[in-house]
Amino acid sequence: MNPIARPILTAAGLYLLTGLTPALASADDPMTEEAKQIVKEFAGQLLSELNAALESSGPVGAIAVCNERAPAIAAELGESSGWEVGRTSLKTRNTLLNTPDAWEMQVLESFETRLADGQPIDTLARAEVVEDERGRVFRFMKAIPTAELCLACHGEHIAEPVLEVLDEHYPDDRARGFKVGDIRGAFTLSKPLSD
């Protein structure tokens, strides 16, 4: 953020801009900014690789991008930034990797409530400092909207050849039946704070 602009961004202004809880989204919150930047990179990279794979090899071929590239991109971004980076959902496909913990579950549920209350999906985010076994940890989540192109693999009418591959790889798949505008899941980031 431009440092000159910073003093005039009040906590309330930031709340309106980001949908973050006012207590946490103070104007001096470089960690939230950092987390949002990583989410932007993660989402952008995923989407461009997914689009390219869908174009060149259709949904069956593109499943590998989600399966291999999503965790790999998350790991690369995590390594270069010091954040733990991942994705989660109330209805997971990869239960082993993406099942929400208690904090994530509660945030995902609050996103559903906020969406039902009329908040725009792209403003659904939450930043919080929590205590866990790592000590004090800064955590950040941002909702992932379901777009048209997601429906080939997460929608209500998934083509038979795609279903076959999904069934084979993900016997516990719950990430189906989504509609455009639903919350597909969330990016989830955390970073231990040094005291």
Distance CA(48)–CA(46), nearest Å, equals: 6
What is the nearest approach in angstroms of ligand HEC to the Cβ of residue 11?
A: 29
Residue 190 lies near ligand HEC (rule: CB under 6 A): no
Residue 89 is given by DSSP the state -
What is the nearest approach in angstroms of ligand HEC to the Cβ of residue 108?
A: 11
Query: Can you tell me whether residue 87 is helix, strand or coil?
Result: strand
What is the nearest approach in angstroms of ligand HEC to the Cβ of residue 117?
A: 22
35 neighbors 81 (Cβ within 8 angstroms): no
Binding characters for ligand HEC, 66-95, by CB under 6 A (x = yes): xx--xx---------------x-x--xxx-
List CB contacts of 178: < 8 A, sequence separation 6 or more. Answer: 91, 146, 150, 151, 154, 155, 156, 184
Binding characters for ligand HEC, 32-51, by CB under 6 A (x = yes): ------------------x-
Residue 188 lies near ligand HEC (rule: CB under 6 A): no
Q: Enter the tokens of residue 43.
A: 């989402």
Nearer to ligand HEC among residue 25 and residue 190 (C-beta) = 190
What is the nearest approach in angstroms of ligand HEC to the Cβ of residue 130?
A: 21
Which listed residue (9, 137, 152, 163) binds ligand HEC by CB under 6 A? Answer: 152
Neighbours of 63 (CB within 10 A): 21
Nearer to ligand HEC among residue 29 and residue 83 (C-beta) = 83
Strands 183-192 and 135-145, by their bridges, are antiparallel
Distance CA(21)–CA(187), nearest Å, equals: 17
Q: Which residue's entry shows tokens 């993406």?
A: 98
Size of the site for ligand HEC (CB under 6 A): 26
Nearer to ligand HEC among residue 27 and residue 43 (C-beta) = 43
The vertex-86 CA angle with 11 and 151, nearest 5°, equals 100
Residues of the shown chain interacting with ligand HEC in the complex, contacts defined by CB under 6 A: 50, 59, 62-63, 66-67, 70-71, 87, 89, 92-94, 97-98, 144, 146-147, 149-150, 152-154, 175, 184-185
